[in-house]
Amino acid sequence: MGAGPSGHTTRSLYASIKNPDLLLISWGSDGNFDWGASNINSGRSQIRGYSISQVSNNPVAFNQGGTIFGWGLRNSVGIGEDPAGGIWSVENSADNIVRNGQDVHNNNPGEELNYHGLATDNSQRGNYGYPECLAVWQVSDLPNNGGLTTGRQFSNMTSSVTDAVCASSRQNPRITFPSHTAPLDVKFDAQGNAWVSFHGSWNRNPPDGYRVSVIPFGSNNQPVASFDSMTGYRDIMTNPDNTKCPSSCFRPTGLAFDAAGRLFVSSDSTGEIYLIENTNPVTTTTSRTTTLITTTRTTTPVTTTRTTTPVTTTRTTTPITTTRTTTPSTTASRTTTAGAAQPTWGQCGGIGWTGPTECVSGTTCKALNPYYSQCLA
């Protein structure tokens, strides 16, 4: 499968849990403003889904195959899947925005959390705006802002595409984040809440981002906050002083949950991996502590505003409004017996799995996530 060499260098890949034959690929724009991305056939600024079994035998060019899960996406580096199989992405929006001759880039456009439907749905998705339309963050900073709210699309042009066109023909983000915070990954916990890593700004004064946040979701597998909310997320891990960023601070990039529900967070600026875990589960509010996993340290949960220290020491996090109880990893494994049906690396369990649940001798069935358990040595 080929995708051109120019523009944003990331080509994010995500293999679906609900639809194991689905591989999602995100291809960003060819520069800050890529007007050619307005052509759906360009393949740029898109997320496409491909049948792994089909492209393994018959490779295709990125822009000539697959299902379009969204276009008009400037650079959606992070792709995630909620427990119901819904596909989500986090968008890095444009820099240096000018509207009607006025520099508005400091607080606009907003970064985005976008919903792309179910992994099992093969229908083509819509246009999410870029490059003609961008999401509003700070309405008051935009000239001629009548009818605009946070989260709505505003026009990045002066004639052919107006605010009205953006409102009627572009997909709004589900949640909008502050400008230039650079979300790079999104992962869902077992309760269906979204966790996002914000790598942080280079084009804003004062700097912003450099944190890990959680977005509470409801039983409908959608964020609790409305699309026009400016408070639809809660910061969990931050730096004590963003004025020292980006050169001297924690900058989160990748996220990964393990079978016990613990969240691993990488920081490329400091070369560290942090562990966010539930240390005192209760029935109403959970306290989480963050630990640098390369050292041994003692952590204390708090219920007041989170305090953070330099990245080489323990970080303490605030409670979130959802509950997650972490159980020992032994509950996620099964002792093997001789003559078991599944070979090493074979699937042996998970929500919806109806196949064999025993593994060959010498291997154990281990839960990698709620939907997939695998026979591992």
Same domain? For 175 and 271 the reply is yes
Residue 324 falls within a domain, yes or no? no
pLDDT per residue over 186-219, tens digit each? 999 999 999 999 999 988 889 999 999 999 999 9
Q: Is the dihedral of CA 347, 350, 351, 354 positive or negative?
A: positive
For 136-168, letters b (16+ CB in 10 Å) and e give bbbbebbeebeebebbbbbbbeeeebebeebbe
Residue 199 falls within a domain, yes or no? yes
Same domain? For 38 and 122 the reply is yes
Question: Among 351, 279, 289, which residue's Cα sits nearest to residue 82?
Answer: 351
Residue 302 has pLDDT above 60, yes or no: no
Residue 166 has pLDDT above 90, yes or no: yes
Task: Identify the CATH number of the domain in which residue 190 sits.
Answer: 2.120.10
Residue 6 falls within a domain, yes or no? no
306: how many CB neighbours lie within 10 A of its CB?
18
Last residue of a domain, one of 316, 348, 364: 316
From 108-122, 245-259, 355-369, the region with the lowest mean pLDDT: 355-369
Same domain? For 185 and 113 the reply is yes
Same domain? For 19 and 51 the reply is yes
From 113-122, 302-311, 334-343, the region with the lowest mean pLDDT: 302-311
Same domain? For 232 and 368 the reply is no
d(CA 121, CA 127): 17
d(CA 333, CA 172): 42
Same domain? For 91 and 24 the reply is yes
Rounded to 5 degrees, φ, ψ at 141 are -80, -10
From 84-88, 104-108, 243-247, the region with the lowest mean pLDDT: 243-247
Residue 284 has pLDDT above 90, yes or no: no
Residue 163 has pLDDT above 70, yes or no: yes
Residue 267 has pLDDT above 60, yes or no: yes
d(CA 173, CA 168): 14
Tokens 């109880």: give the residue: 325
Residue 143 falls within a domain, yes or no? yes
Q: Is 109 exposed, middle or buried (0-12, 13-18, 19+ CB in 10 A)?
A: buried
Last residue of a domain, one of 292, 316, 340: 316
Structural domains of the chain, count: 2
Residue 345: domain span: 329-376
From 112-126, 157-171, 225-239, the region with the lowest mean pLDDT: 157-171
Residue 3 falls within a domain, yes or no? no
Residue 169 has pLDDT above 50, yes or no: yes
Residue 135 has pLDDT above 60, yes or no: yes
Same domain? For 59 and 141 the reply is yes
Same domain? For 360 and 273 the reply is no
Last residue of a domain, one of 316, 337, 352: 316
Residue 287 falls within a domain, yes or no? yes
Same domain? For 281 and 360 the reply is no
pTM over 0.85? The answer is no
Residue 283 has pLDDT above 50, yes or no: no
Same domain? For 277 and 358 the reply is no
Same domain? For 311 and 345 the reply is no
Determine the pLDDT at residue 8. 56
Question: DSSP assignment, residue 199?
Answer: -
Determine the pLDDT at residue 226. 97
Residue 60 falls within a domain, yes or no? yes
Residue 238 has pLDDT above 50, yes or no: yes
Residue 5 falls within a domain, yes or no? no
Same domain? For 170 and 236 the reply is yes
Sorted by sequence, the CB contacts under 8 Å of residue 189 that are 6+ apart come out as 195, 257, 261, 263, 324
pLDDT per residue over 46-103, tens digit each? 999 999 999 999 999 988 999 999 999 999 999 999 999 999 999 999 999 999 999 9
